[in-house]
Structure 1
Amino acid sequence: MIKKPFEIPITIRKLEALLRRLPVTYPGRTKIEEELAKKKAGYRGERSIEYYINHFPDKEFLFFYNLRLPQDESYYFQLDILLLTSRYLIILEVKNMSGTLCFDQTYHQLIRTIGSKDEAFPDPIQQVNRQQTCLQQWLASNHFSKIPIYSFVVISNPSAYIKSIPSYSDTVIKKVIHAALLPEKIESINRLKHESISSKELNKLSRVLLKQNAPQDKDVLSQFGIHSSNLLTGVACPKCSNLPMIRIHGCWECPECKKISKDAHNQALVDYALLLSTSISNNEVCSFLHLSNPSIATRILKQQNLNHSGSYRHRKYHLTSPNK
């Protein structure tokens, strides 16, 4: 049973919104595009594991995707996939990488070779081992019974060639698998003898995992050193992406492709929530959507059926949280 399903990470949604709102000629745009491509590749890799996971019995296996749990007051640890049963837990760290992947214990790195180009990454085996330690400590601090934890690095790209330096080969064989071998690996663990925790404690553990999950919500403007004044405002055309559309007779019209839309402002408000603030005033709507008539802004906000706070002149409307 999937207890926490796959969702598009908030970081991906924010980066997409940022690119929609930056000029094509913006100097730092390439760096943002590269970061988005990297995040999307990781997300696709994690989603590809879903095919193999769906073959396991719902009643016996509970799956959680992209958990971020507190280690202490200032530190969090993240798990790509957590498999929970009454007898053991399994952490899966998913890597969507192509080429030749060489695990190097000497320098604690993963070296990817594509053609004649080598690129070094932190050792994912060390990463998943740290996650295992963090999860053990989290279970203890939340007063759960000791339960065996297994952890693996899953290579989601079937064409990737896995190898290691000789001194690391035994560890790599135990800890690193191709995604297609995941069912076989889990079945081998399932055949081992483990003591079971009660269904009551299992359900409690599931609830606490979900309750303490704290998705990372970065301010991408600060991350890339972008001031809000650099953002393009207005309603984007849903057909050709031109900015801004023009409000005419209760609709939005694109001056470039002549597309007509009644609700193109919805995406603009989503972008505002993702990049600037989840609360917005009537004046801010007028400014961001390029509206000259405050009554139109009020009508649009009322159509959104948003909660609001403050008196009429100082009223703030609360946009739906981008995390949901």
Structure 2
Amino acid sequence: MIVKQRSIPLIIRQEEVLERRLPKSHPKRPTIIKSLKMRKSGFWGEQELDYPLSFLPQDQYRVFHDVRLIETNKAFQIDTLILTDHQAIILEVKNISGIIEFDSTFDQLIRKLKGREERLPNPLAQLGRQRRQLANWFSSNNFLMPIKCFVVMTHPSCVLKASEINPHQHTITHVENLQQKIINLKAENISENTLPSNINKIILNSNTPLGPIDVLKKYGIHYDDLNKGVECPRCFMSPMKWTRRRWRCSGCYFFSSDAHLRTISDYFLLGYKTINNATLRELIQHNDQAVSKYFLSKMNLQTSGHKRSLLYHSPHTL
């Protein structure tokens, strides 16, 4: 049973805003595109879990995607957490192409691709930290449960090789073998401990998604560098013009009554916590105070301040 669905990571949505809003000639644009490509590849890899996990008995397995918990003031995020009545299983997903070797001598991951050899972050080390933190989190919630872990390789061209017997070899698997790996765990020694009946509620209530970061600061980009205006939903040209209570694109002549919503969403995804009337007018390139007030009032955002100091707050958890 899927208890918590997977969603597009917020950082991907943030970088998509930068890709759309940065001028083609901006020097930071190639960096954004490269980062976005890598993050999307990772997300697509996580989606590859859906098919093998769909074959698990729905009444025996509880699946939580993208779980972020807090243990002793430190957050840890798990790609996929699977619970049975007597076990917890952590899945760390890697969508990496090439020949992959897990070197146990120096605890490192080596990739060979197109004649080049490089060291990548070792997911086994990450799994070890997640396992310890999850065990501590279980303990803080007054229950004890054995925890199993798998590194799941999802790229179709990934080739796993080992130059020696690796003590972690049973922890590493291709995605097509994942279902059987999980089922095989039932044959192992099962703890007599059981999870509380309300474990789903406990985890969902404890999940603390990461809000938007200051993505402009992260990449050293100034707000003034971004293209302003309402983008056309059809051809993406901007700015659209507000006329007769709707937006009109001068490129493809498309009309929209709510194209400004995406522009306001873009602003909050950049990491800004609040917006006021004056900022919105500059953002949508339309200097009618009454129109901007109307747009903001219809979004049901939380507000603070009064009259000229009225602020509308981001819908994202920050």
One-letter amino acid matched to 1:171:
H
The answer to whether the aligner puts 1:171 opposite 2:168 as a matched pair is yes
One-letter amino acid matched to 1:182:
L
**Deviation at 1:311?**
2.1
Q: Deviations over 1:42-97 (max 9, x none)?
A: 11111110111112222221111111222322x32221110011100000000111
The answer to whether the aligner puts 1:303 opposite 2:298 as a matched pair is yes
Aligned to 2:253, which of 251, 258, 264?
Answer: 258
Counterpart of 2:33 in structure 1 is 33
Secondary structure of 2:135's aligned partner: helix
Secondary structure of 2:168's aligned partner: helix
The answer to whether the aligner puts 1:91 opposite 2:87 as a matched pair is no
One-letter amino acid matched to 1:310:
G
Alignment of 1:228-267 (within 5 A): 228-267=223-262
Aligned to 1:207, which of 172, 179, 201?
Answer: 201
The answer to whether the aligner puts 1:79 opposite 2:92 as a matched pair is no
**Deviation at 1:167?**
4.3
**Deviation at 1:130?**
2.0
Aligned to 2:159, which of 161, 169, 181?
Answer: 161
For the 8 Å contact 1:105–1:165, the answer to whether it is kept is no
RMSD: 1.9
**Deviation at 1:262?**
1.8
The answer to whether the aligner puts 1:269 opposite 2:233 as a matched pair is no
Counterpart of 1:122 in structure 2 is 121
CA distance in 1, matches of 2:197, 2:98: 40
**Deviation at 1:260?**
2.2
For the 8 Å contact 1:270–1:322, the answer to whether it is kept is no
CA distance in 1, matches of 2:313, 2:203: 28
Alignment of 1:189-200 (within 5 A): 189-198=185-194
Counterpart of 2:4 in structure 1 is 4
Q: Deviations over 1:70-129 (max 9, x none)?
A: 2322x3222111001110000000011111111112332211122212222022122212
For the 8 Å contact 1:21–1:232, the answer to whether it is kept is yes
CA distance in 2, matches of 1:272, 1:40: 21
Task: After superposing the two structures, state which structure 1 stretch, 296-305 or 180-189, moved more.
Answer: 296-305
Alignment of 1:130-141 (within 5 A): 130-141=129-140
For the 8 Å contact 1:102–1:163, the answer to whether it is kept is yes
Secondary structure of 1:150's aligned partner: strand
One-letter amino acid matched to 2:206:
Q
For the 8 Å contact 1:108–1:122, the answer to whether it is kept is no
One-letter amino acid matched to 1:293:
D
For the 8 Å contact 2:111–2:118, the answer to whether it is kept is yes
**Deviation at 1:159?**
2.6
Change (3 A) 1:12 1:28: same
For the 8 Å contact 2:2–2:63, the answer to whether it is kept is yes
CA distance in 2, matches of 1:106, 1:313: 64
One-letter amino acid matched to 2:37:
A
Counterpart of 1:147 in structure 2 is 145
The answer to whether the aligner puts 1:225 opposite 2:224 as a matched pair is no
CA distance in 1, matches of 2:38, 2:224: 27
Q: TM-score, normalised by structure 1?
A: 0.91
For the 8 Å contact 1:153–1:176, the answer to whether it is kept is yes
Secondary structure of 1:166's aligned partner: coil
**Deviation at 1:156?**
0.9
For the 8 Å contact 1:92–1:151, the answer to whether it is kept is yes
One-letter amino acid matched to 2:168:
T
Secondary structure of 2:26's aligned partner: coil
Task: After superposing the two structures, state which structure 1 stretch, 247-256 or 12-21, moved more.
Answer: 247-256
For the 8 Å contact 1:86–1:196, the answer to whether it is kept is no
CA distance in 2, matches of 1:194, 1:155: 26
CA distance in 2, matches of 1:33, 1:107: 33
Secondary structure of 2:282's aligned partner: helix
CA distance in 1, matches of 2:271, 2:129: 34
One-letter amino acid matched to 1:131:
Q
CA distance in 1, matches of 2:316, 2:131: 31
One-letter amino acid matched to 2:121:
P
CA distance in 2, matches of 1:303, 1:287: 19
**Identity of counterpart residues, as a percentage?**
35
CA distance in 2, matches of 1:121, 1:64: 27
Q: Deviations over 1:257-283 (max 9, x none)?
A: 332222111110110111142432222
Unmatched runs of 5 consecutive residues or more in structure 2: none
